[in-house]
Copies of this chain bind each other. A is one copy, B any other.
Amino acid sequence: MSETLQTAVIGVTGYAGAELARLLLRHPRLHGAPPVFAGRLDSRDAARGGIPLAEIHPELADSKGSGNLLMQPFSWDLLTDLDVKVLFLATPHEQSREWVPEALARGLRVIDLSGAWRLNEAVNREIYAFEDEGSANALKTQSEAVYGMPELHRAEIAGAQLVANPGCYATSIILGIKPLVAAGLVDLDAGIIADAKSGVSGAGKAPTAKTHFMYAADNLSTYGVFSHRHTGELLEQIGIASDAIVFTPHLLPIPRGILSTIYVRFHEPQTRAKVLHTFQSFFTGSPMVRLHEHGLPQILHVARTSYADIGFQLSSDGRRAIIVSCLDNLLKGASSQAVQNLNVMQGWDEQEGLE
């Protein structure tokens, strides 16, 4: 078969990287296991060589052998030797800032799951305080990056060398509101409110005070109020000014899933049919979005799936809408969107390997 593409994943010790390895291993267009790496060019990484993935992610033990994948000590030469064409980075953004230019220079196509290259505007990147901000190399790399949301940038992704895979909250909110803003329906002066709630896997695999069961269970808490890093993605991708949206994350006592409740006002009263049609038009040809014609989605529907579910309800006067957008933060919010981008880049069916 012609499509025996070789991919590799750096950063499989985290949840998103591990899910990605699982998906790639089952992908019908990829033959054989992808090489996987814990992800640092240092002795600590080397020490992980030969450790099976299931030792770090016991829940993967079952998944068609993905738990048996052995982590390897990373080297660029190894990628060359293995004829890797597409490299996935599920690494901290600091690391992605450093490695992506090197990978591109070596001719690899890169899908980076971190926030390193998602933001076009310097002002929005400030929150990350990148060490190389403003350098010629960084600016050049950024200029080549395509924001990896196929529903918005399918054509550019197809030809991209570097895809900046979106944030989980950002995916949920952009998919929920972009169609209505793009159609000019939303009164941006009135402002958009995005009240978003995420399961604990979104807080990462490191044990911390916040991921302790005794803190997370039977609780709900806010965090990153007025200051979450995903805000920049919202502004750029929805195409709005910084005072046009407020986004508040909450930590839910569940393992997986995001539900965003989004509040908008319209310039003028709308009908349900009109709003539904606006969404339908926007998502034509987008197989990973499931639009609810009736009712509102919930996390139970989307957890452990690669879909984003979107529904909405209008106020009786048609002047306001509440949009509910749900997805699995580790899948459509991270790894399955990365595979979706791979599919687009290779010209394959967009939901290939995502059942």
Interface residues of A (CB under 8 A from B): 15, 58-59, 61-64, 190-191, 193, 195, 197, 200-201, 205, 207-209, 211-222, 225-226, 243, 246, 248, 250, 252-257, 259, 261, 263, 265, 290, 296, 298-305, 307, 313-317, 319-320, 322, 324, 355
Contact in complex: A243, B62 (CB < 8 Å): no
**Could you say which of B197, B255, B317, B320 contacts A197, with CB atoms under 8 Å apart?**
B197
Q: What are the residues of chain B within 8 A of A256 when measuring CB–CB?
A: 218
Contact in complex: A298, B211 (CB < 8 Å): no
Contact in complex: A191, B246 (CB < 8 Å): no
Contact in complex: A246, B298 (CB < 8 Å): no
Docked pose: A190 CA to B263 CA in angstroms: 12
Contacts A218-B257, A243-B319 aside, 5 further interface pairs with beta carbons under 8 A come to: A195-B263, A207-B209, A220-B299, A222-B322, A226-B315
Q: What are the residues of chain B within 8 A of A209 when measuring CB–CB?
A: 207
Q: What are the residues of chain B within 8 A of A61 when measuring CB–CB?
A: 290, 301
Of listed A254, A314, A319, residue having the most chain B CB within 10 A? A254
Given contacts A225-B322, A307-B62, contact A220 B313 (CB under 8 A): no
Q: What are the residues of chain B within 8 A of A219 when measuring CB–CB?
A: 254, 257, 298-300
Docked pose: A207 CA to B204 CA in angstroms: 13
